[in-house]
Chains A and B, each alone.
Chain A
Amino acid sequence: MMNRIISSKLVDSMCVISSRRLSFAQSAVNTVQKQKELIKSRELEKDELRPLYMDFQATTPMDPRVLDAMLPYQVNYYGNPHSRTHAYGWESETAMEKARKQVADLIGADPREIVFTSGATESNNMSIKGVARFYKAKKNHIITTQTEHKCVLDSCRILEAEGFEVTYLPVKNNGLIDLKQLQERISPHTSLVSIMTVNNEIGVKQPIEEIGHLCRSKNVFFHTDAAQAVGKIPINVNDWKVDLMSISGHKIYGPKGVGALYVRRRPRVRIEPLQNGGGQERGLRSGTVPTPLVVGFGAACEIAQQELEYDHKRVTVLANRLVQKIMSEIPDVVMNGDPEQRYPGCINLSFAYVEGESLLMALKDVALSSGSACTSASLEPSYVLRAIGADEDLAHSSIRFGIGRFTTEEEVDYTVEKCIQQVKRLREMSPLWEMVQEGIDLKSIKWTQH
């Protein structure tokens, strides 16, 4: 396999220099295409050791306390919480309302303002399409950013097809939006501004409080996708003046398949429901509420609230350790996103002159990703990195390290060591690295036809 990598790299590099006008980006895509076939998905064998999990932004393992809270509701207390006539229903409903309170306490809301959904994607869809369609008669403009999650961007695309006007705000090089630009773009026709709290790819934390105050002053509803932020940084929807907030269960050590949407009651936010039926969840999301999942979700929120400070301190220490070690050992590493305004547990590093996919393949003992899980199937570099203005070649060589509650120092040290080792090895094999070492400026090279 080594020979294939080396030969494919040499062949490609020769093609780059001697064939027609291929930019480095193009050749990178070609090599990525070749390498993509090599990261074949296969399950671990029985005696094979499991890789370290460093992909906490994709999903998180369930906390044992969460599983412990869920099991009784999977085994014995299996009633439908909407059954009003017997004990099975009553005990299920009590558990559901307790979970609702736990979720509400985490974000500083009232339990009546929480709607349980199947996840942050559904919450995002509900809030964006729901608000836009409800207020369609008078307001038809929506503002969002270019670095939002795919579900937000896709919902906006659907709304554009329905006739709404959508503004995709650009972000600065550090990943933050420009508040002045936002202020200029808000018009009397704007019904909703949607900006995520913490980005899942680069970990940047937007100035939500300022944006919330701005939107409130202009009478515009403000939705934020807080899936990556809830339980990790302190959130208060009243201080931040947020009207809608999406929460995901499996990002805070809870079960997959459950999430919530916070819908403000004062001043009231009206939504056209996406899922119609028996009128559960205030008519906003009909359907039986999955008691075991919401019980787990509630327990996860309560644990997150208790452990917030402890986890944050630990994650910061481990993240600094990782970044310091890597940056001190190997040159030409760029951290994407603002270094200050960020959540420390999500680190996106670009290693120049190394391909992201080949580095991931080399780090097969560590579970990492480049970019987000939902975009990893395509060959394009992540749109988030493109939006922050990263160079094409750096965008292709980015890796996202996720650190969470269960990460140990040992895991970080192992990851760092392997990463440094593999980056050095891959750079040795790269002819571009050789050229850089000789002092040639790659951007000045004219790749000519032959």
Chain B
Amino acid sequence: MASCSRAQVISLYRMLMKESKQFPSYNYRTYALRRVKDGFRENLHVDNPKTLDVLLNQARENLALIKRQVSIGHLYSAQKTIVEKEPHL
């Protein structure tokens, strides 16, 4: 039941957001940040402890996945995309 505590959920969320910010690729980074935020928002009102457990485990797996993919991204990095620089036109 401890894993269902609000503090745990928030800390998981923060860790996911922190890792997602590290993606070197613009598209992956924006997608991860957006999807994590929307994913947590849509499950805001889930009460059932079993469902919560499942969701939190999924979140932990995703966290590990993001960490791995971030390192791969750093190993094989490429140039930045055009929208990442200061807008000048």
Contact = CB atoms under 8 A, between A and B. Distances in A.
Nearest to A418: B89
B27 interface: yes
A62 to B, nearest CB: 10
B68 interface: yes
B28 interface: yes
B53 interface: no
Q: How would you classify the secondary structure of chain B's contact residues: helix, strand, loop or mixed?
A: helix
B69 A411 contact: no
Contact of B82 (A47, A50, A406, A408): A50
A130 interface: no
A410 B30 CA distance: 10
A68 B65 contact: yes
B40 interface: no
A50 B28 contact: no
Nearest to B42: A310
Interface string A362-400: 000110000000000000000000000000000000000
A51 B81 contact: yes
Given A61-B27, A67-B72, A410 B66 contact: no
Contacts of B27: 53, 61, 406-408
A274 interface: no
B3 to A, nearest CB: 22
B28 A64 contact: yes
Interface string A401-434: 0000111101100100000000000000000000
B83 interface: yes
Contact of A49 (B65, B66, B72, B84): B84
B68 A68 contact: yes
Interface string B25-69: 011101110010010000000000000000000000000011011
A64 B73 CA distance: 10
Given A61-B27, A406-B28, A406-B31, A67 B79 contact: no
A50 B78 contact: yes
A317 to B, nearest CB: 13
Contacts of B28: 64, 406
A65 interface: yes
Contact of A410 (B65, B72, B83): B83
A50 B83 CA distance: 9
Interface string A301-329: 00000000010000000000000000000
A407 B69 CA distance: 19
A46 B26 CA distance: 17
Contact of A52 (B38, B69, B79, B82): B82
8 contacts: A46-B79, A52-B83, A61-B27, A67-B72, A365-B82, A408-B26, A408-B83, A410-B83
Interface of A: 44, 46-53, 61, 64-65, 67-68, 310, 365-366, 405-408, 410-411, 414
